[in-house]
Amino acid sequence: MKIKQILYMFSVAILLASCAAENKKETTKEVSEFNYFVEQFADIKVLRYQIPGFEELTLKEKKLVYYLTQAGLSGRDIMWDQNYRYNLSVRKGLENINQNYKGDKESADFKLFKTYLKRVWFSNGIHHHYSNDKMKPAFSKEYFINDLLKNSNTQIPSEVIEVIFNDADAKKVNKKSGVDTILSSAINFYAPDITDKEVVDFYETAYKGPEGMPIEAGLNSKLVRENGQLVEKVWKSGGMYGTAIDAIIGWLEKAKGVAENEKQANALGLLIEYYKTGSLDTWDTYCIAWATSIEGNIDWINGFIEVYNDPKGYRGSYETIVQIKDFDMSRKMKVLAENAQWFEDNAPLDPTHKKENVVGVSYKTVNVAGEAGDASPSTPIGVNLPNNNWIRQQHGSKSVSLGNIIGAYNNAGGTGRLKEFAHDEEEIRLEQKHGQIADKLHTALHEVVGHASGRINKGIGQPKETLQNYASTMEEGRADLVGLYYLMDSKLQELGLTDNVIELGMAAYDGYIRNGLMTQLNRINLGDDIEEDHMVNRQWVSAWAFEQGEKENVIEKIVKENGNTYFNITDYTKLREIFGRLLRETQRIKSEGDFEAAKNLVEGYGVKVNQQIHKEVLKRNEQFTEAAYSGFVNPVLTPTLDENETILEIVVQQPKSFEEQMVFYAKNYNFLGTEN
């Protein structure tokens, strides 16, 4: 599971996301002089991040980091093709225009083309990285055909040109109730003519793995129709995406040769075997080896991981993150992992839904050294893996917070929106004093305790089977609620994680309600429903809590004389009780596989938007010029070689621009054709 970073546009990143230093002003000279900002276009801000600790690594460790980042980038094209079947044709055509266009590059139309190209680069395709809506060019089809294509000698198939400009495949992922979620989603996990019912029927009889140890069925394949029958095209060497996967394997073999220890080498060997065979049983064996390999300074995430992009929750998007351990912060946060059983025992859950033994939860703050696929340019800031429930229960999981990514967000932020949407000066004071540490602890509680907590009743299927299209948002909301419940618990102060748990909890509750009911609406168009799983979960948690809180005089909706709306919490202790009640019910829904209850909660509170509030939020945000979304270019790791091509050193360099990096990637990691 991952937490995606969506900026509050307050003084810190969103609640659940920000894990930067407690005092933002206490930055080193090196940090203060580092230029985090790259550029801004459309609704996007592109940033840089540093790699703290890289220079302290041994040459062998640097080689491991380098090989792992190269493996990750080698699969970059996979994510593009997964997102939409025409994406690689579109990207390669647009890149050829950008490189070879002989016309007027200072014209208004060409500038609109450049913005569209950058938006497509940022989203790994023609659908918005967050809203899932198809992004329409602001220039005309006639200009595209008669000027851009003609004056750059670019050939793009006519059907591809049509999908750039028409309304077909308008949603990359469509999870709306009442529609055929497979037919109405453009995601390239299924052939275009396959229906929701066919997918359900196929996996009712598909291989599910050994008894009690189910595989993540469908995780690494595309479901297609051949000779009238549904079959899986497996993503493996010699199969679909084989040329890119072979490049990944080559770099992973180099990484295995410089592994820090035997457990690391064994895990990498299993990952290589998985890519060669496509076996999901091997994937589970790898996940166990990876989850239990906790020694060493370097770690990685690599594979077909998160299933958010699949309306049915089967197929994993390609993703890689290469990580260096942040030693100091990991020591501070280890205490949560060591006390995971206490949190489980004291959670407000039905006793039958609690785990008797929370196994092997590990939590680290790491510094990212490179990302690719679903993690780039828009990156998560917290990750808990593996996702397979039985592996988590029996062998444990790894939870990480991406410290340097979060630090970059915070060092590039501002306070204007906080002051605009906070109810009063006290709310602003609490956020500025405790907001960053509250976000840090919420992230840790969400990942370490939240995703590891609770158990499914015997005989009940996995959430993707029982809760179906609501499984992801229900799980993220459940983990959020675990964090919210404990953010006002004296245990955090007892463990030395804060010196004022009351004010810390108040800041966290203010921020969550403020974002869930108002400020996150800045990221969708007026009249749209909320569809992204994390945004949906923040609204259903906040809206349900507000409904209960309004009845009990816990949260009040205030409209000031200027017409602006605010939500003011009057009783934080009672709000904690409300969060606890919702947590208990959310865990019951997961444990019992109660689809109807999940549907009622999500559809009733999480999807529909108060149009009056939405219009107001958009209006109040017009004064701010900062983009709603942020993402990153990756540092470039360049080996220094001797005359025998032996690596003498690995040098870290920062790209000058977003375009420079995208052009470099297109040239050096182009392993797939336009049809796969």
Q: The sheet that has 37-41: what strands, in order across it?
A: 37-41, 44-47, 629-632
Cis peptide before 377 (omega within 30 of 0): yes
User: How far is 223 from 219, CA to CA, in rounded Å?
Assistant: 11
Q: Which residues contact 526 (CB under 8 A, 6 or more apart)?
A: 611, 614, 615, 618
SS3 assignment for 26-52: CCCHHHHHCCCEEEEECCEEEECCCCC
Give the mean model confidence (pLDDT) for residues 311-326: 96
| Model confidence at 550: pLDDT above 80 | yes
Higher pLDDT, 154 or 16: 154
The confidence score (pLDDT) of residue 326 equals 86
Sequence-separated (6 or more) residues with CB below 8 Å from residue 518: 421, 565, 567, 613, 617
Share in percent of the chain as helix, strand, coil (round to 5) = 50, 15, 35
Residues 565-585 have pLDDT tens digits of 999 999 999 999 999 999 999
Angstrom distance (rounded) from CA 473 to CA 453: 16
| Mean pLDDT computed over every residue of the chain | 92
Residue ranges of domains in the chain: 2-43+422-631
CB 601 within 8 A of CB 589: yes
Cβ atoms of 598 and 467 within 8 Å: the answer is yes
- How confident is the model at residue 25, as a pLDDT? 30
Q: How far apart are CA 194 and CA 225, in angstroms?
A: 8
Q: How confident is the model at residue 645 (pLDDT cuts 50, 70, 90)?
A: very high
pLDDT average, residue stretch 32-52: 92
Asked whether residue 232 carries a pLDDT value surpassing 60, the answer given is yes
Lowest mean pLDDT across 20-24, 68-72, 207-211, 273-277: 20-24
Q: Give the residue-averaged pLDDT of 264-283.
A: 98
Condensed to tens digits (0 to 9), the pLDDT of residues 162-195 reads: 999 999 999 999 988 889 999 999 999 999 999 9
User: In the prediction, which pLDDT does 362 show?
Assistant: 75
- Residue 53 reports pLDDT greater than 80: yes
- When pLDDT is cut at 50, 70 and 90, the band that residue 81 belongs to is very high
Kindly list the distances between the CA atom of residue 455 and the CA atoms of 448, 461, 508, 587, in Å, as whole numbers in the listed order. Answer: 15, 12, 27, 8
pLDDT at residue number 22: 28
Structure tokens at 657: 């621009």
Residue 513 has pLDDT above 90, yes or no: yes
Would the pLDDT of 28 be above 60? no
Instruction: Look up residue 646 and give its two tokens.
Output: 């032996």
How many Cβ atoms sit within 10 Å of the Cβ of residue 161? 18
* pLDDT band at residue 337 using 50, 70 and 90 as cut-offs: confident
Eight-class DSSP state of 240: B
* Residues β-bridged to residue 325: 366
Check: CB of residue 586 under 8 Å from CB of residue 545.
no
Print the SS3 string covering 122-180: HHCCCECCCCCEECCCCCCHHHHHHHHHHHHCCCCCHHHHHHHHCCCCCECCCCCCCCC
Q: HEC profile for 578-625?
A: HHHHHHHHHHHHHHHCCHHHHHHHHHHHHHCCCHHHHHHHHHHHCCCC
- Note the pLDDT tens digit of each residue in 406-448: 888 877 766 788 999 999 999 999 999 998 889 888 988 998 8
User: Is the pLDDT at 332 greater than 60, yes or no?
Assistant: yes
Neighbour tally for 55: CB within 10 Å? 9
Backbone angles phi and psi of 486, in degrees to 5: -90, -10
Cis status, amide bond into 351, omega within 30 of 0: no
Instruction: Examine the pLDDT at 40 and tell me if it is beyond 90.
Output: yes
Q: Cβ distance 439 to 13 under 8 Å?
A: yes
> Does residue 53 contact residue 367 with C-beta atoms inside 8 Å?
yes
Question: Model pTM?
Answer: 0.79
Q: What is the mean pLDDT of residues 269-290?
A: 98
Does the pLDDT of residue 330 top 60, yes or no? Answer: yes
Least confident of 151-155, 361-365, 371-375, 580-584: 361-365
Question: H/E element holding 461?
Answer: none
Q: What is the mean pLDDT of residues 88-95?
A: 98
Residues 42-49, mean pLDDT to the nearest whole number: 96
pLDDT at 227 over 70: yes
Gap between the Cα atoms of 375 and 318, Å rounded: 9
Taking a C-beta distance cutoff of 8 angstroms, is the pair 8, 515 a contact?
yes
- What confidence tier does 20 reach under pLDDT thresholds 50, 70, 90? very low
> Which range (17-26, 239-248, 504-513) has the least confidence?
17-26
pLDDT of residue 406: 85
Tell me the percentage of the chain whose pLDDT exceeds 70.
95
Angstrom distance (rounded) from CA 195 to CA 202? 11
Name residue 127's beta-bridge partners. Answer: 134
pLDDT value of position 360: 61
Write out pLDDT tens, residues 286-318.
999 999 999 999 999 999 999 999 999 999 999
Q: How far is residue 632's CA from residue 49's CA, in Å, rounded to a whole number?
A: 7
